[in-house]
Amino acid sequence: MRVVAIVTARNEAIHIVSALAALIAEGLEVILIDHESTDETVALARLFLGRGLLGIERLRWTGRFSLVEQLEAKERVIEQLDCDWIVHADADERLTSPVPGQTLIEGLRAADQGAFNAVHFSEFVFVPRRGEDLYRQDYRRYATRYYFYRPTYPYLQRAWKHRDGLSNSEYAGHLLTGTVRQYPLDFRLRHYIVLSEEHAVRKYVGRPFSDAELARGFHYDRVGLTADALRFPADDAPQMRTLPDWTLGPFDTSEPVTDHFWRWTDREELVGPDVTPATSAAGHRADDQQRFVSAGYRLGERRVG
């Protein structure tokens, strides 16, 4: 069975080596779509050519982050692939099977053999402690503090059977369109969203987004962020959990949160004026759900099962 992961990246030199190495170690082949990086992303990625990295495609940078452009580029690459399954991945993520000792490709093979055509991932977002700086190549060894992020369910159908009438372009890379037969076991996605508070500021404060996508409701939770809003949660924040060791589980899924840390209710005084106040873990606010729907997700219209 052949599985190809498509990774889009722009200026992800801090992540790209560990991202490619991890996907290849899990039995996948990879295609990188570089969004005209100005750092060492491409140079570092080239080290993997012929060692699991099939190729490096280029996507023109227009000066603003555009998720639609990235998804369209992925669609063009996917159409040319001769493989059994596709995985949508980002450079700051680590995707794994939840079964101990099972590689990602083995888990996808189990889903395929069970006549399922899609796999859902649970997202665990890792955040350093206040003042902690993990901005280094081996950051995964030291990142143990996380929260379980689940704004709705299903939310991340990141792997699917190729040539089975499925696409992730309509729902912003989160959900699939088509007749989805989702595997009943959720896989794991570790999201290393930021590695220090300085990194968070560089990544999000003043980040330019596509005007068309903002008009559609995309990126609303990342607009207008300030350095104060991006201060990390305290050690005793009730949403946070800690792994005993970076290689170990299990992950705590008992209390999912529906927003990222900069939108939590106990931090409302830190949120910038253009950012909608946070929700609680009890559920989405009605206006947030409406944004999700108006952004093109149309949650009630998807076919799952």
pLDDT, tens digit (0-9, with 9 covering 90-100), for 209-228: 999 999 988 898 899 999 99
Distance CA 168, CA 172 (A): 7
Q: Using CA atoms, how far apart are residues 107 and 102, in angstroms rounded to an integer? A: 6
* The two three-digit tokens of residue 83, written as one number: 């493989």
Residue 291: pLDDT band (50, 70, 90) is very low
Three-state secondary-structure class, residue 191: strand
pLDDT band at 42 (very low <50, low <70, confident <90, very high): very high
Number of Cβ within 10 Å of residue 293's Cβ equals 14
User: What pLDDT sits at residue 266?
Assistant: 55
More confident residue, 122 or 265: 122
* pLDDT of 11 higher than 90: yes
Check whether 167 has a pLDDT greater than 50: yes
Answer positive or negative: Cα dihedral of 167, 170, 181, 31. Answer: positive
Closest to 168 in 3D by CA, of 53, 2, 35, 6: 6
pLDDT tens by residue, 80-132: 999 999 999 999 999 999 999 999 999 999 999 999 999 999 999 999 999 99
Q: Is the pLDDT of residue 280 over 60?
A: no
Q: Kindly report the pTM of this predicted structure.
A: 0.88
Average pLDDT, the chain: 88
- Over 70: is that where the pLDDT of 284 sits? no
* Least confident among 68-72, 216-220, 258-262: 216-220
290 Cβ contact list (under 8 Å, min separation 6) = none
pLDDT score at 265 = 61
CB burial readout 265-279, b (16+ within 10 A) else e: eebeebbeeebbebb
* Span 121-145, average pLDDT: 97
Length of the chain: 305
**What is the rounded distance in angstroms from the CA atom of residue 205 to the CA atom of residue 207?**
6
